[in-house]
Amino acid sequence: MGFFDRFRGRRQPTPEQAERLSRITNPQQRAAILKAIAEGETIPDYAWHPIPAELGVVGLVGRFEQALATGALSLTQSADLGRWCPA
C-alpha cells in the first residue's frame, strides 16, 4: 500500500452500477465487483454477466475447460461468459 492510498476515499457504486449489481447473486462475483469499484478499477462488460451462486469457482473452471475442449470457446477470442455459462 502506497503512502497516499490511505488518504484516498473508497468509491461507492454509481446508481447504474448499483442497479447492475442487484442482479448479481453469486457472493464471490459480487465481492469481486465491489472491490473493483472501491479501488476505482474499470469493470469490463463480461464481469456483469451473473454467474449462478451454486456454480462457484470450481464449477466455473469446469465449464470453462469443457467449453475449451469442445471448441465452443477459444483462448484467442474475447471471453463471452453468456455463451458457455448460463445466466
Q: What tens digit of pLDDT does each residue of 37-53 get?
A: 999 999 998 889 888 76
pLDDT band of residue 20 (cuts 50, 70, 90) is very high
CA-CA distances (angstroms) from residue 2 to 5, 8, 9, 11, 25? 5, 10, 14, 17, 33
- Whether residue 6 lies inside any domain: the answer is no
- Whether residue 48 lies inside any domain: the answer is yes
How many domains is the chain partitioned into structurally?
A: 1
Burial state string for 43-71 with b = 16 or more CB within 10 A and e = fewer than 16: eeeebebbbeeebeeeebeebeeebeeee
Q: Enter the pTM of the model.
A: 0.55
- Whether residue 2 lies inside any domain: the answer is no
- Whether residue 1 lies inside any domain: the answer is no
The predicted structure's pLDDT at residue 26: 86
